[in-house]
Chains A and B, each alone.
Chain A
């Protein structure tokens, strides 16, 4: 069965320092993986996606994630945090082969705080 675990419920960094948000997944198939960001009282915005092409995926706003099959991980990173990065981040895996059912399994989210 597919599942996703975000290892930290809250991460706090200083502006200008690196960001690491950790995600581990479990999937019976080759998964598609996504990171979404949600600012308070807003919908979710797609940051980046992995769909079995390059293992290092670049997204919007300077974020990137690396798919590591041996570690079943898909951690999100950014070299230098900005105040506007403060938000909640969700790691997501598809349900079903090739996402054919379209159902997404969401992690519980990681709240990122950025200190000045």
Chain B
């Protein structure tokens, strides 16, 4: 089955610890994205990558870092510098043809709780 997997589904951390969220896709998509979802806020873009070894900051990148060493993987690290890390994190990917990126497909999400 082709799709996007995120692990783990639930993650608990103590304040001050870095934590890495996994995102893997086997759709052969070029572009991948990380969003943060808070109640009543919709989704906000953290980082995105249109191609391997390249990524750009989204609207709320402060306190987060990413890497894109492989086409199928786009891990997100929530650092201790992120002031309010408790949220639902969604990874997405999309294909790309002639410079146009198409609709995004989403993973099931990881709910991070930091206490």
**CB neighbours of B74 from chain A (8 A):** none
**CB neighbours of A44 from chain B (8 A):** 43, 90, 92, 106
Query: Known interface pairs A90-B43, A107-B42. Does A46 touch B50 (Cβ–Cβ under 8 Å)?
Result: no
For the complex, what is the distance from the CA of A98 to the CA of B103, rounded to whole Å?
A: 11
Q: Is B58 an interface residue (CB 8 A)?
A: yes
Number of interface residues of A (CB under 8 A): 22
Chain B facing A: main interface SS: strand
Q: Is B63 an interface residue (CB 8 A)?
A: no
By the criterion CB–CB under 8 Å, are A99 and B106 in contact?
no
**CB neighbours of A99 from chain B (8 A):** 100-102
By the criterion CB–CB under 8 Å, are A90 and B101 in contact?
no
**CB neighbours of B104 from chain A (8 A):** 46, 102, 104
**CB neighbours of A41 from chain B (8 A):** 88, 109, 111
List which A9-40 residues lie within 8 A (CB) of chain B. 9, 34, 36
By the criterion CB–CB under 8 Å, are B101 and A101 in contact?
yes
By the criterion CB–CB under 8 Å, are A106 and B107 in contact?
no
Q: Is A116 an interface residue (CB 8 A)?
A: no
By the criterion CB–CB under 8 Å, are B43 and A102 in contact?
no
**CB neighbours of A34 from chain B (8 A):** 103
By the criterion CB–CB under 8 Å, are B42 and A109 in contact?
yes
Query: Known interface pairs A43-B90, A44-B90, A107-B42. Does A100 touch B100 (Cβ–Cβ under 8 Å)?
Result: yes
- Chain B, Cβ-Cβ closest to A109: B42
List which A77-108 residues lie within 8 A (CB) of chain B. 90, 98-104, 106-108
By the criterion CB–CB under 8 Å, are B103 and A46 in contact?
yes
By the criterion CB–CB under 8 Å, are A103 and B106 in contact?
no
**CB neighbours of B94 from chain A (8 A):** 102
10 pairs of A and B residues whose beta carbons are closest in the complex: A102-B101, A43-B106, A106-B42, A44-B106, A108-B42, A106-B43, A43-B108, A98-B100, A102-B31, A43-B107
